[in-house]
């Protein structure tokens, strides 16, 4: 009888140990060729905390975006980001238009976009924003930035799919 309990305990322990298996996923190594081309914006999410503690959480989905919302990664390690809609305090502003040029660097699984020029912006303050690629595969890319401007904090995620 004791052997049955011991075997049952061993089987239960083996089952539990399988549940604790480590995930050995390695970061994806990003190359310039995996970034190149046009990426259509499909979602924009921003959270803003102002100095009064008011939190604004806004999401703009594909239904509010157009062909004018995209990122174009170029051979010379620059990316042009065009946006015709963005989140502003109080909600989306469909008349927002911007064109920004960034240079980018690749280090293993990290891509960092640094502003070169704010070429054209309406209804939004121009400033230096450093974007980081947080996810990329053959058809999707996510860009993230956090901006702590004084007492304000802005966290943004922009999601793109590769243009066909």
Q: What is the mean pLDDT of residues 20-33?
A: 65
Amino acid 90: pLDDT = 45
The per-residue pLDDT for 121 is: 47
pLDDT above 90: percentage of residues in the chain = 16
Burial 88-113 (b: 16+ CB within 10 A, else e): beeebbeebbbebbbebebeeeebeb
- What is the predicted pLDDT for the residue at 78? 92
pLDDT tier, 125 (very low <50, low <70, confident <90, very high otherwise):
very low
- Greater confidence (77 vs 152) lies with 77
Give the pLDDT score at 31. Answer: 87
Ordered by start, the domain boundaries in the chain are: 32-162
Strands 131-136 and 86-88: unpaired
Between 50-59, 116-125, 142-151, the lowest mean confidence (pLDDT) is in 116-125
pLDDT for position 38? 96
Burial classification of residue 20, based on how many CB atoms lie within 10 Å of its CB (0-12 exposed, 13-18 middle, 19 or more buried): exposed
Q: What is the pLDDT of residues 55-111, one digit of tens each?
A: 888 888 888 888 888 999 999 999 988 887 554 444 444 444 567 788 888 888 788
Domain 32-162 has CATH 3.40.50: no
The predicted pLDDT at position 141 comes to: 92
């Amino acid at each position: 009888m004791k052997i049955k309990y011991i075997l049952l305990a061993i089987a239960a322990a083996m089952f539990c140990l399988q549940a604790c298996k480590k995930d050995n996923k390695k970061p994806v190594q990003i190359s310039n060729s995996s970034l190149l081309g046009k990426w259509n914006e499909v979602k924009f999410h921003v959270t803003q905390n102002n100095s009064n503690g008011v939190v604004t959480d806004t999401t703009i989905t594909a239904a509010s975006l157009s062909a004018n919302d995209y990122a174009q990664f170029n051979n010379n390690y620059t990316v042009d980001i065009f946006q015709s809609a963005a989140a502003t305090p109080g909600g989306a502003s469909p008349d927002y238009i911007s064109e920004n040029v960034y240079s980018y660097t690749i280090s293993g699984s990290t891509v960092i976009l640094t502003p070169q020029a704010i070429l054209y912006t309406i209804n939004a303050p121009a400033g230096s924003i450093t974007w980081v690629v947080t996810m990329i595969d053959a058809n999707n890319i996510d860009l993230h930035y956090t901006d702590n401007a004084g007492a304000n904090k802005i966290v943004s995620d922009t999601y793109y799919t590769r243009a066909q």
